[in-house]
Amino acid sequence: MESVSENLPDAGRSCRNCGAPLLGEYCGQCGQRDRDLRLADIAGEALEDVTDLDSRLWLTLKTLVLRPGRITADYIGGRRARYLPPVRLYLVVSFLVFLSLSVSQPPAVNTVGVDNQAIDGLDAGIYIPRTNEAGEQEILTIDEFIEAEGLREEIDALPAWLQSVLERMVANTERIQENPDAFVEGLTRRLPQMMFFLLPVFALMLWLFYAGSPYHYLQHLVFSVHYHTVAFLAFLIMQPLNLVMPADYGGLVTLVSMIYLPFALRGAYASSKGVAAAKGMVLAVAYYFVVLLTGTLVALMTLAFL
């Protein structure tokens, strides 16, 4: 008499990937197909991965841009398979942004709040405007600005460790004046770390703005990743404007991000129009100053450790 196990298909066979018993061609535990490797399988898997990535990529980008907040809402609601994972998408888009920044040619003359007409004829360098005692605007190098403001004398009154850092910064100003691209390159290298720091900071601000709601911090972090991805996409789209628009277009990216935010809040958190608009406006302004402060600290760090 035959045993019951002899009548079962694939009796005694196990999955070569996870070791689970096989009851067919595919493993019921991990899904791997149980057959020897073939060239057609490798080509088919590669084609399937590419087409799946392509379809999910375009759906993710289209939804991000045209339906603000929808991807975050879907992700929080468990509908995730149709989109690229948020962190993966952020890494890809941010890589393209920082790559474009690294290969783009920095301007010959870098200024802080200086009218472009006022710097015509100046040598390459970084300049800062200053209103002198006569009420006239001067355009000074960093070293000249420090001298004019009497900052060197104030350094001596600071703690020793801070004096060392500031003296290093003052010494580097001469190096920057001779080679301003070195400062720009150093700053560009630190931007990815700065943005990774800002992602959880923005999520924390969202958590505070939505205190008492059912959403927890990790869900706000998903929104933060999606929001910054959109800001990077806006930068990539607008960067070609630099070919026809010499002026800085960073303000346009900021404006687009601020306009996008209330719509994204409404789509992700199902807020009313009024609540989304109010929270979006206050959050955008508050975050703008956080970014400005963080950028200033990063610039000072770059100057100190150039």
| Entry pTM | 0.71
By the 10 Å C-beta count (0-12 exposed, 13-18 middle, 19+ buried), 39 is classed as exposed
SS3 per-residue string spanning 230-281? HHHHHHHHHHHHHHCCCCCCHHHHHHHHHHHHHHHHHHHHCCCHHHHHHHHH
Strand 137-141 versus strand 109-111 pairing type: unpaired
3-class SS of residue 295? helix
- 113-141 per-position pLDDT tens digit: 455 555 555 665 667 777 777 777 777 77
- 190-223 per-position pLDDT tens digit: 888 899 899 999 999 999 999 888 899 999 999 9
Displacement of CA 170 from its chain's centroid (Å): 31
Spatial distance between the Cα atoms of 66 and 73, rounded to a whole number of angstroms: 14
Determine contact, residues 261/283, Cβ cutoff 8 Å. yes
Model confidence at 70: pLDDT above 90 = yes
Q: Apex CA 274: angle with CA 273 and CA 276, to 5°?
A: 65
Spatial distance between the Cα atoms of 98 and 100, rounded to a whole number of angstroms: 5
